[in-house]
Every structure is written in C-alpha cells, then in structure tokens.
Chains A and B, each alone.
Chain A
Amino acid sequence: MSFPWAKHYEPKSGFMKYVDSRLPIPRLVYNSLGAGYPVPKNLNYFYNFGVLAGVALVIQIITGIVLAMHYAANAKIAFDSVEHIMRDVNGGWMMRYMHATGASFFFIAVYIHIFRGLYYGSYKPPREVLWLLGLVIFLLMMATAFMGYVLVWGQMSFWGATVITGLFSALPLVGETIQTWLLGGFAPDNATLNRFFSLHYLLPFVTLGVVILHVWALHIPGSNNPTGIDVKSEADTVPFHPYYTAKDFFGLGVYLTIFAAVVFFWPNALGEVDNYIPANPLSTPAHIVPEWYFWPFYAILRAFTVDFLFIPAKLWGVIAMFAAILLLFFLPWLDTSPVRSNNYRPMAKIAFWVFFADIILLAICGGKPAEEPWVRLSQLASVYYFAHFLIILPILSRIERPLPLPNSISEAVLKRQTNVGAPASQQLPGAGIAEMPATGRAQPAE
C-alpha cells in the first residue's frame, strides 16, 4: 500500500523494462526505498536507528561468517582458536573486535529504536503487528547474543551459560530435566558449545527474515512521525529517495565513525576482562555478570529475594524476568490513548522519562554485585518497571487530557519553525498560520 500521490515506477531503459516485466525487483526497490515511497517530512534523527540496526545486523552477519571460517566449536580448542584469530589470522583481530563491539552497537541502535517507538507511540494502531515483529527480533537477538558470548569459551562465557541455563532449573518438577536437555549434559560442555554454535549461526538468518517482515509491515501504514498524527496530504510527505536516503546516509556515517573509534581504540571497553581467561569449571569468578545489554533484565531477575505466595524467590525472579519482556507484546492494548506522540501527552511524557531513568537505574544495579544498596534499589526500580506498563499507562490512557493536536504535519512543522525563531524576513508568509489557534482535537484511533 502507499499514498495515492506516490510516484509510479517507469522503467527508463529497454533493459529495465525487460527485467521489470519478468521479475519486478526494480519496481520493488523503487516502491520501498525509492521515490515511490512517500514518508512524513518531519522525521527527526531518532528515526535513523531502524536503518542503523539493519546495518548493524549485516555487519554482524558478514564478520561472523568470516570468523566462523577460523573458529573451532570444540570445548578443548575453542578458546585457542579465538586467540589464533587474534594473533595469526590476517585481519582476524579486526573481524573479532568488529563482531564483539558490533553486538553492543546493535543493541545500542535497537534500544534507541525501541525507546523512540515508545515515546512517539509507534506501537499503536495501525502499527501493532509492526511492533510485535520488532519484539520478536529483539528476543531473537538476545538469544543470539547470549549464545555468541558463550562461544568464546572464556570464564564469563562458561559461567554465564551455567547461570542462564540454570534459570530453567527453577521451574517446578520439570526444571532440572529441561536444563539437562538444553545443555546436552549436566553442566556446560562440548555438547552445549556445539549446539550454541549451530544456533548462533542459524538465528541471525531467522532474524533477517523477521526484519524483512518488519519492514514489510512498516510499508503498509508507512512511518509514524514525531507528531503522531496521520499523513493527510502530499504536503506532509517527501519521497524516501533522495530525502531519506540522504539523511540515512549521513546518520550512517556518524554511526560508523563512532563504531570505528570504539573498535580500533577501545575494543575491550564493553567486555569483561574475565573472558580472557579460558573456561574453568572448577573455578567460579567472584562476580558473574552478563554483557551490559542484559543488565536491566538481570537486575529484575535478582530483585526477587523472598518467597512470596508459596512461590520460591528464584522462580519469581525467572518469571518476572521473562514477563518484563513479554509484557511489551501487550503494550498496544494496555496504552489505549488515541494520541500517539508523548509530545501531546503531558502526563505520559513524565511517565516516559521516569521510565527511562528507571531502566538506567536497573542497568546500573544489574552490573553491580548483589549487595546493598543495589538489591533494594533494584527492587524499587523493578516495581516501577512493572507498574509503568501494567498499571500507570493503562490508567493514564483513560484519565489524561492530551494537548490539542496540530491539524497536519505541515502545520506542526511551520509552528515549530516560527517558535524557534527563524529570521524575521523569512517568517512573513508563515507567521499568520502559526498564530492561528490550534483547533485540532485528539485523533480517534482508526
């Protein structure tokens, strides 16, 4: 689907005509990334991160395939083969540092992408399926990242695998059996490493498939935008090419510059030193932590310290950690306010920023050892995490009075420009419109 004013593809050369009439790939590209795809013209830089996450996935797949040519998934030599890549393979150090740092950058891009969606209400109708597919991608990349970290077979790999698979043993009756089944033994060993390698190679391609569905689902209603209101006319949009190809290319340049700086100058800043010690089942590290991108969820896992309602604390932690992610799947039906963008929701906006601070606090707690004051802080922060999604947002969507919405994206853009104070000479024709009282009301959900 597209807007009625979308340009139609017309093959220019005889060759393109020939291709287009037999396999319309040129048409597909034109309609999805080219001039045939109208996009709201007011997207800000936060809207770059979808493309950046896609690029991050491609970087991971390419570097990962090269690494797999030299890596040996065997518990006896896995760690040695990683060091072989670092020391003896030409450019191997670059591939490995790009892959390890790339995982962190993939998560940075995806987390910004998710928070952007939360702030501007991109999960609301008609984009629920788009949101759900995004969450599937998020789950897949968490699984992939975890298994990839184990492949190094350092101390933190081994003990991280022990702790995470140990979570399943908290399930009543079947827990131990499931853990043994997942590991292929009673503790992480060669069977575990081999299956993790197999799945670590498979899941990125599954992710890529879901990304295609995600982009497809995006192209049905088109992008949301910072005002959250629907596109009304051609004046609200610009063609994706050249406008957003140019903007995405610039954003990509900034992203790659920062990425390269970390890869080449601080390659180990985001990792744990313990993982440069080969795995040793007989020696437990003093402080087992997952990678930074799991810290908020790790904090929730550890926040449950007492048995409650006859359910053991450990099981509470496991249920809550999974629930913390799964509840996001229900978000479109929990936050039913018809106004999408938090720019026009004064109370939800406050709740959003409290939630943002809350996640940062949870992340800090998750990276610390389980001692006071971090345990109590993580308990309070977890309370807000659940309350925000399950209690506060549903209530807010009922009682909040949103600010008046602009009539159209064009009007909102004009208003912002006059407020910022463009040079007076340029303001003349637009000034009158900006001063008109805003008559827009909250938009009913479609």
Chain B
Amino acid sequence: MVKLIAAAIGAIFCAALLWGAVQPRDAVVPDLVKKYYQHAEPAGFSFDNPIVGKFDRAQLQRGFQVYKEVCSGCHSLNRVAFRTLTDIGFSAAEVKAIAKQYDIPSLDAAGEPTTRKGLPSDNFYGPYANDDAARAANNNALPPDLSLIGKSREGGANYVHALLIGYKETPPKDWTTPDGLYFNVHFHSLNIAMPPPLNPDQVTYVDGTKATVDQMAKDVAAFLMWTAEPKLEERRRTGVGAVIFLIILTGLAYLSYARVWQSVKAKKTQV
C-alpha cells in the first residue's frame, strides 16, 4: 500500500517535471554583457600562494599612497583604523601624523557639533558625511566603501587591478555607453560610473618606483587586499603550524591504530 501511494506520488512529480522539460524554450537573446565581459586576469601578487604568500610591505605603502592621493577623493575606507597601519610598516609617529590629517566629527564642550584632529585609535573618515552626500556629489552613483572590496568581488585583488586598467576608449559598435558612464570590460554591467581614475605618473612614489598605471593599479589592489584581510599573514602562519601539528598527530594516531588492529588482522588471515 505504501509502495502504491509512493509510486503514484512519484509519477505525478515526474509528469509535472517532464511536462516542464518538453516545453519549448524562449529564443535566447544574445547577451552583449556576457559577450564583452572579461574575468580578471591574475596580476601576480606576492600573497598569491594560499599557504606561504605574504604581503610586500613596500607595495602596501605605495598602495596606501595611491589610495590617499587618488581613491580617497570619492571612496571611504571606514572599517580600517589608523592604528593598524603599523602592520604595513609605518612607525607609530608616522601613524599619528597620518591620523592628524583627518578631521573627525566631534562635539565641543558646549555640545555643539565640531571636528577634531584624528587619533591613531580612529577609523578612516570621509570623504563624505553620508551616502546621500556621496550620491549628490557623484551624479547619483554611490562610490562603495573600499575596506572589503578585496573580498567582496569575484577575483579579489586581481579584480581591483583589472578594473582599474580595464577601461576602453571606445566601446564596440553594438554597445552603447550612456553619457556620464565609462566602458569597462571588467565591470559587471560594462558601464561604470567611475571615470578612469589613474593616469601615468599621477603619484610620485617615495621609493622611486615608476608610477605607471599598471603599477599603481597593482599597488592599490594589494593595499585593498590588506584592508579586506588584515590578518592574512597571521592566519597562514598559524595554519602552517596547525597543519604540521595535525599531520604529526595523525601519523601517530595511524601507528597506534595499526598496532591495536595488528592482532585482529593477523587472526583474520590465520583462522
């Protein structure tokens, strides 16, 4: 009886599915976004290797310089605290000086809104007071906060690098990019509101590295990977220790397992 009911239910489900499967499908409209969209190519970062890869401190500092002099005009970085900049090689005094350049909203002694100089314990602030102000200043497009951009896009740092160098002067003939938007093959909709941000020699690197667009894009991508995953090196270091420990433990566990079962296995072949 159970089986008959089951078979009947099964037959109904199968019929509903097969009826759906034999329906004709709508003609596929060729999707131009799919045609022109390109996945980010690997840019080759020092932290690419998931086990031993490390950040390049000098690159992170260059990337910070690019963020500060270019990106921070529109993009916030408000999950990152100034104090954490010591992790990428800045001294405590340098961090203090960097923080001081920012005005942080505050209240004065009378309770009136005012601003004060930033402290190392503050997070990055600005450039806009809120999302509405950001939209108002950017033609109604919202520049995303960059703190997590290294993890919130497929491809991570490679994506950031590819996007920054992925602008094309003229879109293909069958694609229209409206005024005020820019054609970029690495952006999900191909039309991005951000104008090409980098020009050759836009920043002057303290360490004398030549500031090509590709170099700046790579440096800032590395920096933004660090802001997204500041504990990356600590994580991998801990992981190497943990995995080595566990392999040794598992080896010992195997030896004790083999030892315990020795008598049973021997008996099996002799009985």
- Residues of chain A having any CB pair with chain B under 8 Å: 41, 80, 83, 86-87, 93-94, 97, 235, 238, 242-243, 246-247, 249-250, 252-254, 256-257, 260-261, 263-268, 273-274, 276-277, 286, 303-306, 308-309, 313, 316, 320, 323, 327, 330, 333-334, 336, 372, 376, 379-380, 382-383, 386-387, 389-391, 394, 410, 413-414, 417, 422, 426-427, 429-430, 433
B45 to chain A, nearest CB (A): 15
DSSP class of A's interface residues: helix, strand, loop or mixed? Answer: helix
Chain B hits for A83, CB < 8 A: 79, 147-148
Chain A hits for B14, CB < 8 A: 383, 386-387, 391
Chain A hits for B154, CB < 8 A: 273
Q: Nearest chain-A residue to B18 (Cβ)?
A: A383
Interface residue from A253, A274, A327, A430 paired with B249 (Cβ < 8 Å): A253
Are the CB atoms of A390 and B253 closer together than 8 Å? no
Instruction: Tell me the B229-254 residues at the A interface (CB within 8 Å).
Output: 230-231, 234-236, 238-240, 242-243, 246-247, 249-250, 253-254
Q: Nearest chain-A residue to B231 (Cβ)?
A: A93
Are the CB atoms of A266 and B50 closer together than 8 Å? yes
Kindly supply a per-residue 1/0 record for chain B positions 1-21, scoring 1 wherever the CB is within 8 Å of any chain A CB and 0 otherwise: 011001101111111111111
Chain B interface size band reads 35 or more
Known A86-B231, A264-B238, A309-B16; contact A254-B250, beta-carbon cutoff 8 A: yes
Are the CB atoms of A260 and B16 closer together than 8 Å? no
Instruction: Tell me the B199-234 residues at the A interface (CB within 8 Å).
Output: 228, 230-231, 234
Q: Nearest chain-B residue to A418 (Cβ)?
A: B269
- Residues of chain B having any CB pair with chain A under 8 Å: 2-3, 6-7, 9-21, 23, 25, 28, 50-51, 79, 81, 84, 144, 147-148, 151-154, 188, 228, 230-231, 234-236, 238-240, 242-243, 246-247, 249-250, 253-254, 256-257, 260-261, 264, 268-271
Are the CB atoms of A430 and B254 closer together than 8 Å? no
Are the CB atoms of A313 and B20 closer together than 8 Å? yes
Chain B hits for A305, CB < 8 A: 20, 23
Interface residue from B79, B236, B240, B268 paired with A87 (Cβ < 8 Å): B79
- For the complex, give the distance between the alpha carbons of A394 and B151 in Å: 49
Chain B hits for A260, CB < 8 A: 239, 242-243, 246
Are the CB atoms of A265 and B2 closer together than 8 Å? no
Chain A hits for B240, CB < 8 A: 264
20 extra interchain contacts, Cβ-Cβ under 8 A, other than A313-B20, A382-B13? A83-B148, A93-B235, A243-B260, A249-B256, A253-B249, A253-B253, A253-B254, A257-B247, A264-B239, A264-B243, A273-B151, A306-B19, A323-B13, A334-B6, A376-B25, A380-B21, A383-B13, A390-B13, A426-B269, A430-B271
Q: Nearest chain-B residue to A431 (Cβ)?
A: B269
Chain A hits for B12, CB < 8 A: 309
Chain B hits for A266, CB < 8 A: 50
Known A243-B264, A273-B152; contact A265-B13, beta-carbon cutoff 8 A: no
Q: Nearest chain-B residue to A433 (Cβ)?
A: B271
B226 to chain A, nearest CB (A): 12
Chain A hits for B50, CB < 8 A: 265-266
Are the CB atoms of B153 and A238 closer together than 8 Å? no
Chain A hits for B13, CB < 8 A: 320, 323, 382-383, 386, 390
Chain B hits for A303, CB < 8 A: 17, 20
